[in-house]
Structure formats: structure tokens, C-alpha cells
Amino acid sequence: MDYSIYKTLEFRRKFFKLFGASIDITNPESGQQVGFIQMKAWKLKEDIRIFTDSSMQQQLLQIHARSVIDFGATYDVTDAPTGDSLFSLRRKGLRSTFVRDRWEVADAAGNTIGTVQETSSSLALVRRYVGIIPIVGEIADIALSFAPLTYTIFDADNAAIAQLTHRKNPLVVKFGLDITNEAHTLDARLPVAVTALLAVVDASKN
């Protein structure tokens, strides 16, 4: 699957799923399925697999956490057919918990090649702290859970290469991926892996 030919992709999952998470990756222009994400249930370490379609006959990527409990979790992304390490995604723990979600992207050698930054700053702060208000906070937290969130993927020079938009309703959760810089030199699978990881992390909260 050559994801470099797609400038927009949509990641969709059902809001409620008892065991694990399954997410369809589609081309929003044609509605064609171009990928399928499966996260196994009851795994102490996240085990995320990306396939070409829902038949799960051909696996493209695997994303797995390095440790069971890690405040600043690191996830390794590998090419499933070859087993080659492609890159890793490391969550900045304190910053992501108390300010805005932020991840560092490193290549197989450990060199920083980009970052992922939550860009819905005001809403991010409200969502983090509104829950501490008794009664009112709980109601507001539920309401804000359906408000859109945005993320931007940057390269090592801090140039934006892609925009992610997270939306949900009581039935479906969507992550829209929009490649804003077609001339970027990063691996075309990187934005797909980032969106897949964020979508599964979001699913684990429900």
C-alpha cells in the first residue's frame, strides 16, 4: 500500500466496542477502504496492527509500546513484511498531561526527525482541568468530549507537514488526516502511523 498517493485519509471507529479497537482507514473522496487497524484486547502493552483491509490477510505496520507502564510512553513502528524498524513515537509525559499533547518522532537510529503537537490549545487546557469542578465539571467534561481536537505533525525543521482533526459523536469517532505539505521528505507511512496511534489511544479512554 503506497500511502504517498493520498493527500487526505479518514480513520473511523465505532464509539462503543467492548473488546479491543478496530478502525477503518478510508479515502474520503472515493469511500474506498485503504487500511484497517486492529488493537488486540487485554494486552498489557499496546499492540496495534495496520492491515491493507478488514480481511487482515496482509499486514503493513505494527506499533507496540516498549514497556507496560511508562509515563512518557515510547512506541516503536515496524514494517510488518520485513520486520525493519522504521521510527518511534515518544509521548512527552508531563507536558502532554498538564499542557498540550506532544510527541517526539525519531528515526530507527534514534535521531529526532519531527514532532506531533496538539494545536487546539485553549480547548486542550479546558478539557484537562474542567473535570476537577464538582458536578459542573463532570457535565462539562462530557460535553467537551465531543468538541473537535486538532494536531499538527512537524518535521525536524518545524515545518508543518500534516494536520489531524479528531471529531466524535455518540456513534462514530473520526480522525481526519490532511497532508498539508506534499513536498515533505518524511516516510509517507509516518502520518498514518501517528494517526493510528492517536486513534487507538483515544479508543482506550472509552
Question: In the chain, how many domains are there?
Answer: 1
Q: What is the DSSP letter of 131?
A: G
- DSSP string of 38-105, one letter each residue: EE-TT-SS-EEEEESSTT--SEEEEEEESSSS-TT-EEEEEETTT--EEEEEEE-HHHHHHT--EEEE
pTM of the full predicted structure?
Answer: 0.83
Q: What is the CATH number of the domain that holds 182?
A: 3.20.90
Question: How far is the C-alpha of 131 from the C-alpha of 167, rounded, in Å?
Answer: 20
Q: pLDDT truncated to tens, each residue of the chain (206 aa)?
A: 889 899 999 999 876 555 556 899 999 989 999 999 987 665 556 788 999 999 999 999 999 888 765 556 899 999 999 999 999 999 875 444 445 788 999 999 999 999 999 887 666 566 655 554 554 445 555 556 667 789 999 999 999 999 999 887 767 889 999 998 877 888 999 999 999 999 888 877 65
- Which residues constitute the domain of residue 73? 3-204
What is d(CA 72, CA 99) in angstroms, rounded to the nearest whole number? 14
